[in-house]
Amino acid sequence: MAALASAARSRRRLIPYLHRLLHSGPAAATAATAAPSPSTSRFLRHASPVPRTPDHSPYLRFPDARVSTLPSGLRVVTQAYPAATRMASVGVWVDAGSRFELPGTNGTAHFLEHMAFKGTGRRPNAQALEVEIEDMGARLNAYTSREQTTFFADVQARHVPVALDVLSDILQHPRFPERAIQRERGVILREMEEVQGMMEEVIFDHLHAAAFRGHPLGDTILGPEENINSIKKKDLEQYISTHYTCPRMVVSAAGSVSHDEVVDRVKELFTEFSTDPTTADQLVEANPAIFTGSEVRVENVELPLAHIAIAFKGASWTDPKSIPLMVIQSILGSWNRSVGVGNCSGSSLARGISDGNLAEGLMAFNTNYRDTGIFGIYTVAPPDTLHDLSRLIMAECRRLASQVSEEEVARARNQLKSSLLLHIDGSTAVAENNGRQMLTYGRVMPFLELFARIDAVDCATIMETAKECIIDKDVALAAVGPISNLPELSWFRSETCSDDEFTRRMFFAKAQNN
């Protein structure tokens, strides 16, 4: 009975509150503004339909990243934070990727990544290295991109010194046995076959070829089959001696680590790399990448869907436009039909595509390099919707230069910040983030600073950036599949003109004809 009485009292207290909440009119809203009640403010705080910019400072006070530069030019960055698991991640980030390969040697950087694990003088073969890593319960991995190569290990904190020993050994004393090179050719060729089945990877390789035609940045990371079959030991050794130099390398560690201990261990072990002062920036300046408005089309009627990427010239890592373009990427958004929320998405492009049943999915992208970048839209669609889909995408890109609301920019900023935080969950991601930033910025940008830069982007900044990067600018296009209904590249180029720009160009053309 006591419980029933208590429930009845709770209902009596709740019903008047619900009545005020549901039936409050403009007058009540005005009164609430003048003297907000605690219940109303709680409701608005958690359910406001208008996105706002919150104060992030209480949540972003991560431990500071510590940086030391050794006399050789090698940099060491660590970020220590309490870890209940007592785990750590440590790796070597090298300012060298496929864009730095000599003509005719495309694929060497990636081949070297594979061969680094095939044995050293003290670890004679891949099996000895693998057993040592597994005995520690560790994980050793690597990856190659167009501008960077990374070797890293995830280990228990007490094994960080051993992990650094392994990393220094495989990079300073690789053996490159001929039998292992021959065997690895087959491994990489099989990897190439797997990549050819990943349409997103294929499209972005084609897009780079279209955007940077005739430049190493437009080459694939794996390289062509003929190069994989011809790369020799001397090519690998030359690449290491030329590009694996102390000023172009960063040792990054995160998790349960001690900065001073890591620095001392690196001083002891990383002693045989070249100290050639040539930087990646100097090499890029000597051979800059030029954005070319061209296309790569591969007609394949056997595929059920068309895969299309439309791109504009973006920004380099240090370009002031890089942050606004990140927000533009968030405004354009991403969507997949299997998720089923297209018509409820904050992205107007996703809503339009979902309502019109024009595509199976879309993804905005924004990729930065040292001297340039690309950003745009990747979409997968049935062949009969390609023209309408292309019109909608280009109209949305033009809209960004003239009609952007503060609400959608605020929403995009919040989504971007959430995405960035989700990508640094764990010691591996923190070490990767710090190593990459040391190579690209020369420092680790605190999240409070990064978020302040993002929050400074308003709708005027978005429109100014879109005008500069989209309106009357060249377009790179990559398309694979049943694409006979896809408009020509010249059509996409014409769709970058705003109405005023289009009128001006037509008037100028008529004046010339007269």
pLDDT at 99: 96
Res. 498: pLDDT tops 90: no
- 200 vs 5 pLDDT, higher one: 200
Does the residue 24 lie in any domain?
no
* Whether 188 and 232 share a structural domain: yes
Res. 216: pLDDT tops 90: yes
Does the residue 37 lie in any domain?
no
Q: Are strands 295-299 and 66-69 parallel, antiparallel or unpaired?
A: unpaired
pLDDT at 343: 60
pLDDT at 510: 46
Neighbours of 466 (CB within 10 A): 24
Query: What is the pTM for the complete model shown?
Result: 0.85
SS3 call for 82: coil
Q: What average pLDDT score do residues 396-418 get?
A: 93
Set 101, 147, 184, 432: catalytic member = 184
Told to judge if 113 belongs to the known catalytic residues of this protein, a careful annotator would answer: yes
* Whether 350 and 493 share a structural domain: yes
* Whether 472 and 369 share a structural domain: yes
Residue percentage of the chain with pLDDT more than 90 = 76
* Whether 243 and 347 share a structural domain: no
* Whether 205 and 351 share a structural domain: no
Res. 182: pLDDT tops 70: yes
* Whether 226 and 321 share a structural domain: no
- Domain C-terminal end among 286, 303, 332: 286
The answer to whether 371 and 316 are in contact (CB under 8 A) is: yes
Q: Are strands 373-381 and 361-368 parallel, antiparallel or unpaired?
A: antiparallel
Set 113, 295, 396, 432: catalytic member = 113
* Number of domain units in the chain: 2
pLDDT at 250: 98
- Separation CA 195–CA 318 (nearest Å): 31
* Whether 310 and 219 share a structural domain: no
* Whether 255 and 338 share a structural domain: no
Told to judge if 200 belongs to the known catalytic residues of this protein, a careful annotator would answer: no
283-328 per-position pLDDT tens digit: 999 999 999 999 999 999 999 999 999 999 999 999 999 999 999 9
Which range of residues forms the domain containing residue 337?
295-512
- Domain C-terminal end among 286, 314, 329: 286
* Nearest Cα to Cα of residue 136 among 164, 115, 113, 170: 164
Neighbours of 474 (CB within 10 A): 16
Does the residue 15 lie in any domain?
no
82-105 per-position pLDDT tens digit: 666 789 999 999 999 999 998 889
* Whether 360 and 313 share a structural domain: yes
DSSP codes of every residue in 130-194: HHHHHHTT-EEEEEE-SS-EEEEEEEEGGGHHHHHHHHHHHHHSB---HHHHHHHHHHHHHHHHH
CATH, residue 178 = 3.30.830.10
* Nearest Cα to Cα of residue 223 among 113, 303, 116: 113
- Domain C-terminal end among 255, 286, 317: 286
* Whether 125 and 242 share a structural domain: yes
